[in-house]
Structure 1
């Protein structure tokens, strides 16, 4: 399995996990000229969530949540701003940035993992 198909598999796993938590998935692999966001959804409390999915096969590969470094946060923030302006014509939308970390068979959802950069 190549890297892209592995990523797609775990993004789909994360989407199914979030859907079981009553998150409505609005977009998968949303792209604009600044980059990509893995998942965009609407949580049960009305928050628009931008989700980065990170997978590691084991603890020896490093913590998947730590892989969303400051540079990645900046990229996600800029893509999210473009999404908000395109879809809502405003940056004044109740939203947050979450990370779903998958390590082996364990899934962890970190809500509000980082602030807009």
Structure 2
């Protein structure tokens, strides 16, 4: 599999996991000129903007560690656009989540859903 196929495969796994755990997928690979959000889901009362990260092994650290400050800013900017485009009020409960997927040395797949993985970063921090 190439990188795009690998990414799509693990995003599909993440969607399945989220649905199995009560979320409803609203959108996938939502993008604008600022960047992309992998998954947008409804989880209870929350609108969840979800970044999916995959790692094979721990050579480069845990998968969730790859969602750094600059990626968080991008997700926040794209979420602003999404909310404006779909008329979602600023008083709506929103969350920024990370789904970390790792494959260990036995080829077992481990999925961790970090709800509220990071806080909203206001635009003026750019």
Structure 2, unaligned stretches of length 5 or more? 104-108, 122-126
- Give the equivalent residue in structure 2 for 1:18: 18
Question: 2:117 aligns to what SS in structure 1?
Answer: strand
Greater gyration radius: 2
- Give the equivalent residue in structure 2 for 1:69: 68
Contact 1:81 1:91 in 2 (8 A): no
For 2:60 and 2:12, how far apart are their aligned partners in 1?
Answer: 21
Q: Write out the 4+ residue segments of structure 1 that deviate beyond 6 Å after TM superposition.
A: none
| Post-superposition CA distance 1:46-72 (Å, at most 9, x none) | 100000000001112321000000000
Normalised to the residue count of structure 1, the TM-score between the two structures is: 0.95
For 2:21 and 2:88, how far apart are their aligned partners in 1?
Answer: 28
1:80: Cα distance to partner? 0.3
The alignment yields a C-alpha RMSD, in angstroms, of 0.9
- Structure 1 segment 1-117 matched on structure 2, within 5 A: 1-43=1-43, 45-104=44-103, 105-117=109-121
1:91: Cα distance to partner? 2.7
